[in-house]
Structure 1
Amino acid sequence: MTVDDASDLPPHEEPGGRHGGQPEPEEREEPEERGGSARAHAVEEDPIALRLEHLILGSGRHYTPFQAARSAGVSMDLAARFWRAMGFADIGQARALTEADVLALRRLAGMVEAGLISESTAIQVARSTGQTTARLAEWQTDSFLEELTEPPEPGMTRGEVAYPLVELLLPELEEFLTYVWRRQLAAATSRVVRSDDEEAVDRRLAVGFADLVGFTRLTRRLEEEELGELVEAFETTAADQVAAHGGRLIKTLGDEVLFVADDAGTAAEIGIRLIETMNGDETMPALRVGMAFGTVTTRMGDVFGTTVNLASRLTSIAPRDAVLVDGELAQALVAAGEAPESEAEIAPGSEEKYRFGLQPMWRRPVRGLGVVEPWLLSRRGG
């Protein structure tokens, strides 16, 4: 979607136009006033871009923000907050909104009015959905459509190639997106139902960061395309390993990924697997991993708190191709029988009992967290 937001036009101001607040037929696609952004005007002047927008959104531009809010039965203030939360720019009073925009606004406001969710939760829903899908849309456009819409013959524009391609792909991608979302929703709902009530927001989780070593130097040495390919390979590898072994990828930050797991054993397996997998790829730089176990606050799919901060600090001091964990995670591994409390205390013949080894490292002060004693995590038996 190119332009889909509302401005702070007060509710008593009536936009100009012969139809007042009613949507105007689609024979004219021009904004009503000069208040629209330059981006809005640029799209208006490009008929192919306009046709693509119509194809994707399912209808043409009928509404100004004021008209859309009135048609949905909500105040301009609430409409503006919803649209901005979804990540769309102000457009003044350009006629740039569609029936889909009105319906989405009506649905969000309807859930609030029915008491299903609070207004603040509705804003969070709009923001989290907007942020997640914005990144997905950018990736699909930059990496997917960009490659597929190279003009097959001289004289054809990218837009002329894109329209039939989008027309074919749109329903398939939409159904796949819905399927993946439902799958993820089922998994997330199951986790919440299985947890205690008090753990719905504040839960005990293992948190891990994996960080590429020397990434700043790489940015100066590699070409942009090479750097992009390296980051994509790292993120793909990390995401695959985290998912395959029972963790959840929270976010990727270029040279770093953040993941969580419900138990210490799962987190330890992921951390070791990440190191092993990256070591097996000669094209990738060294990796370091830091993990901590404790209470974590979850908000909008992200995680916060002291445990997250500690995992981040441990990552920054971890040796190359090594995994550092905090005392809580080390104790959890020992309590679960995943690692011996001390290598010296392993009874003869019981070496194969443990998956992991733990070696205490030097105690050191960590900014903002006091003195910590990291443990070096390894896989037993090499």
Structure 2
Amino acid sequence: MTADDSGATPRDVDTGDDAVPGAPDDGSAGDSARGGGGAGDAPADGSAPAGTDPARAASEGAPAAREADDENTIAIRLEQLILGADRRYTPFQAARGAGVSMDLAARFWRAMGFADIGQVKALTEADVLALRRLAGLVEAGLLSEAMAIQVARSTGQTTARLADWQIDSFLEGLTEPQDSGLTRTEITYPLVELLLPELEEFLVYVWRRQLAAATGRVVRAQDDAEMVDRRLAVGFADLVGFTRLTRRLEEEELGELVEAFETTCSDLVAAHGGRLIKTLGDEVLFSADDAGVAAEIGLRLIETMTHDETMPELRVGIAFGTVTTRMGDVFGTTVNLASRLTSIAPKDTVLVDEAFAEELGRIGEAPVSEAEAAAAEKAAEEGTGSPPPPYRFALQPMWQRPVRGLGVVEPWLLSRRD
């Protein structure tokens, strides 16, 4: 029975004592609801804690208390601005108002990455509506319960990282105080007020564009099996000697180097038709539907980094085969093989597996046998045969070697064809 069926609203429901997740645990709501904290916390009436000198507390603690109150006030105003509503409901009331069980509500909230907050009145109308929408998709049969939780988890993880980046990198630079009379906190509110609607619209635009691109990739699959388990080219690009750099560079320098590396890789992968799966500090993982696209990306990464004197050497490993995709990530033996190839690749080179080499040959991007290609070229010059395709890439077989967990593999060195 939903809240509407019973005639009850979230305000009509008594709160419980079970600890359940609700909203990001910033500590402000939780502390006020608990009515106190650990040893040394001031009582709710504002008097000095037991065992302290009231006069000393008044003289030494008042400025700090006023400063803390001011910061809390601005924090609450910022939260209201961003969320667009006041805190009105406990998690129990929100679940009841959305017409879902507490168990399902807790699973949704945890999947979105929100901390357990007990029964603090910290949720808004938007939280109730989000629960109602997810539950409605399940009730309508559009999503299974497990899939709805996956939607919540993938969205929560992605947007959490985006929000952290925007606060740590974006807003931090923009809120540098220009006037000594204003603090960074005081500058933040009007800035967020101006940026919020613009960033919100831009986020939706980019998401729609990415959704359209992802949908296009799926519908181009040749059969139902390939819509989930698809044959892709998967590559890793890894900075050589990164561990040594971490000991030699200052933290700020190291951060700038990693950011420049990730930016370069992201731009090159996108520009040439690949997809950046994730970044891992000194390593990036990318994929491409086409082996020729992946080969171009791998070589472009090496060429770009080689000409940048501020960057360490790079090595790239690419494999081709069946890949399982889940929540925007890729898994399987093909991914593991690409990682192993990267670890054994000489600096400033691209190593590929045998399946990738064969795929390049199949689509006419590289001759698997240079001898056969040379013979075909000679026959074409003599007028006794057809010219070979205009190969873009060259492949050189390397020594077979055992690879941990994958048996013996035969790497191929990828290069541009002269």
Per the normalisation by structure 1, the TM-score is 0.89
> CA 1:320 to 1:354, structure 2 compared with 1: closer, same or farther past 3 Å?
same
CA contact (8 A) 1:32 1:95 kept: no
1:368 paired to 2:394: no
Match of 1:268 in 2: 295
- One-letter amino acid matched to 1:98: T
Structure 2: gaps of 5 or more residues: 1-12, 18-27, 39-67, 382-386
Of 96-105 and 174-183, the range deviating more from structure 2: 96-105
Partner of 1:175: 201
Structure 2 match to 1:136 = 162
**For residue 395 of structure 2, what is the aligned residue in structure 1?**
358
CA distance in structure 2 between the partners assigned to 1:51 and 1:365 by the alignment: 60
Which of 289, 312, 316 matches 2:316?
Answer: 289
Counterpart residue number, 1:15? 15
Assess, with a 3 A threshold, how the Cα gap between structure 1 residues 267 and 258 changes in structure 2: closer, same or farther.
same
Question: 1: CA distance between counterparts of 2:35 and 2:139?
Answer: 31
Q: Pick from 80, 83, 87 the counterpart of residue 61 of structure 1.
A: 87
1:233 match = 260
Structure 1 residue corresponding to 2:278, chosen from 251, 261, 276:
251
Instruction: Look up the SS of the partner of 1:293 in the other structure.
Output: strand
2:143 to 114, 117, 122: 117
Question: Which of 191, 215, 240 is matched with 1:165 structurally?
Answer: 191
- 1:37–1:90 CA contact under 8 A, matched in 2: no
- Pairwise mapping of residues 28-107 of structure 1 onto structure 2 (< 5 A)? 33-34=33-34, 46-107=72-133
2:225 corresponding residue in structure 1: 198
**Paired amino acid for 2:416:** R
- 2:152 — aligned with what? 126
Q: CA 1:356–1:146 in 2, change beyond 3 Å: closer, same or farther?
A: same
Deviation at 1:152, TM superposition (A): 1.9
Deviation at residue 307 of structure 1 after TM alignment: 0.3
In 2, Cα distance between equivalents of 1:79 and 1:30: 19
CA distance in 1, matches of 2:211, 2:104: 27
Aligned partners of 1:36, 1:192: CA distance in 2, in Å?
54
The structural deviation recorded for 1:66 is: 0.8
Aligned-residue identity in percent: 79
- Distance of 2:320 and 2:115 partners within structure 1: 40
| Mapped partners of 1:30, 1:319: distance in 2 | 54
> Whole-Å Cα distance in 1 between the matches of residues 298 and 156 of structure 2?
31
Deviation at 1:31, TM superposition (A): 6.5
Residues 186 and 291 (structure 1 numbering): CA distance in 2 closer, same or farther, change over 3 Å?
same
Q: Does structure 1 conserve the Cα–Cα contact (< 8 Å) formed by 2:315 and 2:346?
A: yes
CA–CA distance in structure 1, aligned partners of residues 291 and 341 of structure 2? 16
Q: How far 1:45 moved relative to its partner?
A: 7.2
Give the C-alpha shift of residue 351 in structure 1.
Answer: 8.1
1:373 partner letter: E
**Distance in 2 between residues matched to 1:16 and 1:82, nearest whole Å:** 19
| d(CA) in 1 for partners of 2:30, 2:217 | 49
Aligned equivalent of 1:303? 330
Counterpart in 2 of 1:323? 350
2:169 maps to amino acid: S
CA distance in 2, matches of 1:120, 1:45: 40
In the TM superposition, residue 154 of structure 1 has moved relative to its aligned partner by 1.8
Q: Secondary structure at the match of 1:353?
A: coil
Q: Which runs of 5+ in 1 are unaligned?
A: 1-12, 18-27
* Partner SS for 1:204: strand
Q: What's the CA shift for 1:15?
A: 2.0
Count of residues in Structure 1 that have an aligned counterpart in Structure 2: 356
Query: Match for 2:214 among 188, 191, 199?
Result: 188
CA distance 1:223–1:45, change in 2 (3 Å): closer
Distance in 2 of aligned mates of 1:190 and 1:263: 14
Q: Which residue of 2 aligns with 1:211?
A: 238
Q: Secondary structure at the match of 1:359?
A: strand
Q: Is the 8 A contact 1:31 1:94 kept in 2?
A: no
Compared CA separation, residues 118 and 330, structure 1 to 2 (3 A): same
Q: Secondary structure at the match of 1:251?
A: strand
How far does residue 377 in structure 1 lie from its aligned partner after superposition? 0.2
Q: Secondary structure at the match of 1:46?
A: helix
